[in-house]
Amino acid sequence: MFKDFKLIAGRPVYIQVKDYMKSLILRGALQGEQKLPSTRELSLLLAVSRNSVISAYTALEDDGFAYTVQGQGSYVASAAASDSTTAVSAWTMDWKTRLSSRALLAEELDIMKRGIRAGKGTISFTSIAPDESLFDLDNVKRAFLDRMSVEGNVLLNYGYAKGYKPLIDYLRQYMEHKGVDMRGKDLLITNGFTEGFDIVLSALGQRHGAVLCENPTHHTALKNLRLNGFDIRGVAMEPDGIHLGELKRALEEEEVDCAYFVPSYHNPTGIVMSPEKRQGLMKLMAEYRVPVIEDGFNEELRYSGSHVAPLIAAAGSGNSIIYLGSFSKVLFPGLRVGWVLADQELIYVLESVKRARSIHTSTLDQSILYQYLLGGHLEKFLKRARTEYKRKYELTMACCKECLPYSRISGDGGLHLFVTFPKGFSTRELLAACREQGVIFTAGDIFFTDGTGQHTLRLGFSRVADEDIRRGIEIIGRTARQLLG
């Protein structure tokens, strides 16, 4: 006993001693009415000061775990000690037999648990998270302190399901500046795109039980579509976005409840849908009366070319587009803040779904983001981030073109490139061989709706150092050529 006590830096020692003694009592290692070691003894056993033990014993008494007999010492309170009832109630069960099919499916589709782990020194192209070394930490800290000093007490209390009002107002204007007609529309703040998508899907009635989307598409979106019980109809892509002919065919073939599109910096292909395609797509959706969930992911990360308006802007006063926004890749994914912009009557209902689920998104997170945006830091940060990501994008593109035996490389910006190899080539085999040499990437098949895409891969470059980009792609290229024979 007392050998497994380990101090954690930064936490008061007496609390750690108290918690440790409490756990011994609860586990039954110290029995009711048993005398506790003297404060001197325990301080030696745990290698802490005697004062810490004295304070710990006082706190144990306050919590009802111990009592003192004057002149004799401290004892374990029998009411607090574990007794034979613990043994009776400590029965076990097999939780696997009690899980819902949804939970089991979520576990089955959880690629984070099954993906390849990057060992130390591995060059990993798997992440498309932003580069944290670019984070504007000083301004984030200032935003936090400023907001806390204005209304810290309010921020720490319960907030509103719809979101933090100043942020909602800010985002209304932000979307207006993207050309959206905000009349008749409203906003709901969510924990990033992912929760917003799940809220929308869970709220949609399933008349046909099917959803259209680009093929390939965002893996998390596919997972959530499946978890919400939708059949997925993938439509092939062309270099400038979804194949409109195939989209029309799919719409003719079968009725769907809605469509999910990522028009800008599509994940995984990195394609930005052309203005002509956007128009064509909107016409088709109107003709077949299919509502659209638009993922506004990474719109801000355009490196070249002119601004492309989101679909919801093209829809004017129409209410058939549900826009999901997120600053996850542009700013900080750790602040789980995204938004749903849609018809106000729909938002009215989604607000209740959100409240039932999680009451609201962290007001503290929302307020930090708001203060940061209010201070004009997004614009400055974007300038810096775009310059750096563009540089890395060009480097990665040049390395890919030089080293890889590709059929096609796509990606108009953003934080990743998508590489297609000749048909019949297996990027899973390539991945296994590259892993042996300390390089990993994401095999593309996980993004496909129909089990295809075995000859594709995604390269996330945002967090890879220049030298590693060169070395990693050189290894991928050499290995691919060897496999191609």
Ligand X SMILES: Cc1ncc(COP(=O)(O)O)c(C=O)c1O
Q: Contact residues for ligand X (CB under 6 A)?
A: 128, 192-194, 218, 262, 267, 295, 297, 326, 328-329, 333, 338
CB of 337 to ligand X, least distance (A): 8
Phi and psi, residue 2, nearest 5°: 75, 0
Smallest separation, CB 170 to ligand X (Å): 17
Specify the residue, 193 or 381, whose C-beta has the smaller distance to ligand X.
193
Tell me if 224 sits within 8 A of 197, measured CB to CB.
yes
Beta bridge partners of 420: 408, 456
Long-range CB contacts (within 8 A, 24+) of 110-115: 111/219, 111/446
Give burial (CB, 10 Å; 0-12/13-18/19+) of 196: buried
Min dist. Cβ of residue 128 to ligand X (A): 6
User: Cβ 190 to ligand X, closest distance in Å?
Assistant: 8
CB of 267 to ligand X, least distance (A): 4
Based on CB atoms, which residue is closest to ligand X, 128 or 385? Answer: 128
Q: How far is the CB of 218 from ligand X (least distance, A)?
A: 4
User: Is-contact 418 265, C-beta < 8 A?
Assistant: no
Which CB sits closer to ligand X, 360 or 470? 360
Q: Rank residues 297 and 421 by Cβ distance to ligand X and give the closer one.
A: 297
Least separation, in Å, of the C-beta of 449 and ligand X?
A: 14
Least separation, in Å, of the C-beta of 471 and ligand X? Answer: 25
Toward ligand X, which CB reaches closer, 128 or 155? 128
Rounded Cα distance, 317 and 3, in Å = 70
Contact 162, 311 (CB under 8 A): no
Longest dimension (CA), the chain: 91
Distance, C-alpha 49 to centroid of its chain: 44
Helix 192-203 and helix 219-227, axial crossing angle in degrees, nearest 10:
30
Please compute Rg for the chain using Cα positions. Answer: 28
Helices (H), 228-343: 244-253, 275-288, 311-314
Give SS3 for 459: strand
Residue that the structure tokens 């529309």 belong to? 185
User: In the numeric block, which tokens belong to residue 400?
Assistant: 């890919």
Looking at the Cβ atoms of 17 and 222, the one nearer to ligand X is: 222
**Beta carbon nearer to ligand X, 332 or 421:** 332
The DSSP secondary structure of 347-388, one letter per residue, reads HHHHHHHHHHHHSSS-HHHHHHHHHHHHTTHHHHHHHHHHHH
Residue labelled with tokens 């070395």: 471
Min CB(415)–ligand X separation in Å: 9
Reported for 19-22, long-range contacts at CB under 8 A and 24+ positions apart, including other chains, are 20/46, 21/56, 21/60, 21/65, 21/66, 22/60, 22/63, 22/65
Residue nearest to ligand X (CB): 192
Q: Which is nearer to ligand X, 162 or 416 (CB)?
A: 416
Q: Among residues 296 and 472, whose Cβ is nearest to ligand X?
A: 296
CB of 382 to ligand X, least distance (A): 17
Of the pair 214, 257, the CB lying nearest ligand X is at: 214
